[in-house]
Amino acid sequence: MRVSSRRWLFLLLLFFLYCGALVWAQEHSSGEMAHEALKAAGAKGSSLAWWMWPLILFGFTFVIGIIAPLSGVGGGVLFVPLSTAFFPFSVDFIRGAGLIMALTSALSATPQFIRKGLANIRIMTPLVCVSMVTSILGGIVGLWITNAFPSGKYYITIALGLVLLIIFVVMLTSKRVEFPEVKEQDPLSRALALTGSWFEPTLGKVMEYKVTRLPIGLVCFAAVGFIAGMFGLGAGWANVPVLNLIMGAPIKVAVATSMTIIAINDAAAAWIYLAKGAVLPLIVVPSVLGITIGARIGAKLAVKAKPAFVKILVMGIMLLAAALNIVKGLKGLHII
């Protein structure tokens, strides 16, 4: 049996186990449990049974998992704002789950990208050295704000909406270049030999590439790492434009390298959330299961999908999430 078949069977087995557990939990939930769950749900204006939330989370993250590889984002950038708008969980737990989701999808994709030559640890290492520090700082600041200020979560929600609006504008104005021409590397990039090659099936040949402007890239990644750690995002939304538009990496290399960077940055930031208790298995397990299975399907679809369609799809979701978060934050502060 091929390795990929075994992986699919492994994921399917986990999926069926999950569904079985949900059914079992539903059948064995006591009257008291249902009452408490309804009470909790009632506080958020919903009469859904408690077991519905993990099921909805699974379906929700499954869809995100399909969309994420099509657009080169980790998934957290879609999960965090949409969950903040639609789910009853605290923004702290949503950020924690978003971070673990983005980490898992990046960890699942990175080995394949490296073997195909699309991702390279020589390019990733200097960028991660900088962004790991700033992502840890971002994680600390994000949790500190919600706990130190009673209304801090509403400001974070508004800030998240504004960040998404900025991303929307960046995506709207950016012209992704499939194969940028890098005439000359800067001395630092040359010294680190930031070059590579991969086989491009659409052209039927091996493509060589080299990246440049590493010092500017380092500054950009420092800023991106901070925002990603603060909001529990995967940061693929910003990594890809920096690698592609500033450093001259081909779009496929930029997406693959972005996933590798997400894996390492999010792994470092995850410890903050674990140590603060902001990771609840009740929320994280269905989310990770959904995105893991969805990402496998999304990766297959990515080969056939038209990039223009995907871009419009993601931008539409981002705009909607931005608007919802800003409205939610403003309502929380009683401004509207």
Partner 1 sequence: MAEKNQIHVDPANLIFAKVMEIVTYIGIAVMIIFGLLYLVGISSFVDIKAAIAHWHLPVVQFWQEVVGIHISGYDWFLKNLTAMDCLSMLGICILALAPFAAIIAAWPKVGATHKVLVLLFFILVVEYLFAILKPIILPGVGGH
In the region spanning residues 83 to 122, those forming contacts with partner 1, defined by CB under 8 A, are: 88-90, 92-93, 100, 103-104, 107-108, 110-112, 114-117, 120-122
Question: Binding residue for partner 1 (CB under 8 A) from 129, 166, 297, 333?
Answer: 129
Q: Could you tell me which stretch among 60-68, 75-83, 186-194, 231-239 binds partner 1 (CB under 8 A)?
A: 186-194
Distance CA 83, CA 291 (A): 14
Burial readout 117-155 (b: 16 or more C-beta within 10 A, e: otherwise): bbbbeebbebbbebbbbbbbbbbeebbeebeeeeebbbe
- Smallest gap from residue 300 Cβ to partner 1 (A): 18
- Smallest gap from residue 273 Cβ to partner 1 (A): 9
- Smallest gap from residue 198 Cβ to partner 1 (A): 6
- Smallest gap from residue 314 Cβ to partner 1 (A): 25
Binding to partner 1 (CB under 8 A) within 45-74 occurs at: 50, 53-54
C-beta of 2 vs 28, nearer to partner 1: 28
Q: How many residues bind partner 1 (CB under 8 A)?
A: 88
Distance CA 204, CA 260 (A): 25
C-beta of 245 vs 264, nearer to partner 1: 264
Does the footprint of partner 1 cover residue 335 (CB under 8 A)?
no
Binding to partner 1 (CB under 8 A) within 195-214 occurs at: 197-199, 204-206
Binding to partner 1 (CB under 8 A) within 136-165 occurs at: 136, 140-141, 143-144, 146-148, 153
Q: Could you tell me which stretch among 35-43, 174-182, 314-322, 324-332 binds partner 1 (CB under 8 A)?
A: 35-43
C-beta of 10 vs 309, nearer to partner 1: 10
Q: Is 40 exposed, middle or buried (0-12, 13-18, 19+ CB in 10 A)?
A: middle
Q: Which amino acid is at 76?
A: G
Distance CA 219, CA 128 (A): 11
Binding mask 290-329 for partner 1 (x = CB under 8 A): --x-------------------------------------
Nearest CA to 289 among 10, 92, 15? 15
Distance CA 211, CA 302 (A): 24
Binding to partner 1 (CB under 8 A) within 232-251 occurs at: none
Question: Binding residue for partner 1 (CB under 8 A) from 44, 174, 297, 312?
Answer: 44
C-beta of 121 vs 333, nearer to partner 1: 121
Does the footprint of partner 1 cover residue 31 (CB under 8 A)?
no
Nearest CA to 210 among 192, 196, 223? 196
Does the footprint of partner 1 cover residue 21 (CB under 8 A)?
yes
Question: Binding residue for partner 1 (CB under 8 A) from 163, 243, 268, 321?
Answer: 268
- Smallest gap from residue 54 Cβ to partner 1 (A): 7
Pairing of the two strands 205-210 and 195-200: antiparallel
Alpha-helix residue ranges (DSSP H) falling in the chain = 3-28, 31-43, 52-71, 76-86, 91-115, 121-148, 152-173, 187-191, 214-231, 236-241, 251-275, 281-304, 307-332
Structure tokens at 245: 């538009």
- Smallest gap from residue 313 Cβ to partner 1 (A): 27
Does the footprint of partner 1 cover residue 22 (CB under 8 A)?
yes
DSSP result, 161-220: HHHHHHHHHHHHH----SS----S--HHHHHTT-EEEEEETTTTEEEEEE---HHHHHHH
Angle at 19 between CA 14 and CA 21, to 5 degrees: 90
Structure tokens at 299: 């990766």
Does the footprint of partner 1 cover residue 132 (CB under 8 A)?
yes
Distance CA 221, CA 225 (A): 6
